[in-house]
């Protein structure tokens, strides 16, 4: 519990510094981290607010053609899709998750591959929630195959 509180403090400090310095990249990562922590403690409305902020910074970065590792936009969008799914907004979540998958679809770096597996797992959950059981099973199978490829 102490580590979570400490992580939240560090993310908040990083976000404040990023805002002051105008660093959209750092702000994206910090707000996304705060979203994950809020979701972890079950505060989904707050998690969604942090996710909104992370998404706004990500859009600015992408519009400015900022350089990002492919797993960064994938992770930000995965967090948002996961939150929307947990809030019962599955039909909103799936297109966002598909954007996340597109960001890492052809990536070969280990971090991007791990993010793709995480996206596939969430895709399986969302598809199941939508009643698309065969598609969900196929996504789960892809996640398993990709995870085995990571070693």
Per the structure block, which two tokens stand in for 44?
């989904």
- How sure is the predictor about 114, in pLDDT bands with cuts at 50, 70 and 90? very high
* Residue 2: per-residue pLDDT: 76
pTM above 0.85, yes or no: yes
Residue 89 has pLDDT above 70, yes or no: yes
Report the candidate in 59, 139, 141, 132 with the shortest Cα–Cα distance to residue 97: 139
Average pLDDT over residues 79-105: 95
């Amino acid at each position: 519990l102490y580590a979570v509180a400490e992580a939240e403090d560090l993310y908040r400090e990083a976000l404040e510094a990023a805002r002051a310095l105008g660093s959209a990249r750092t702000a994206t990562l910090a707000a996304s981290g705060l979203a994950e922590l809020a979701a972890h403690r079950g505060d989904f409305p707050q998690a969604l607010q942090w996710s909104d902020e992370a998404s706004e910074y990500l859009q600015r970065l992408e519009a400015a053609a900022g350089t990002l590792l492919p797993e960064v936009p994938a992770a930000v969008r995965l967090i948002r899709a996961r939150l929307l799914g947990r809030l019962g907004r599955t039909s909103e979540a799936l297109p966002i998750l598909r954007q996340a998958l597109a960001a890492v679809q052809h990536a070969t770096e280990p971090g991007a591959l791990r993010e793709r597996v995480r996206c596939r797992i969430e895709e399986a959950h969302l598809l199941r929630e939508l009643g698309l059981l065969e598609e969900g099973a196929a996504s789960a199978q892809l996640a398993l195959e990709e995870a085995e490829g990571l070693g």
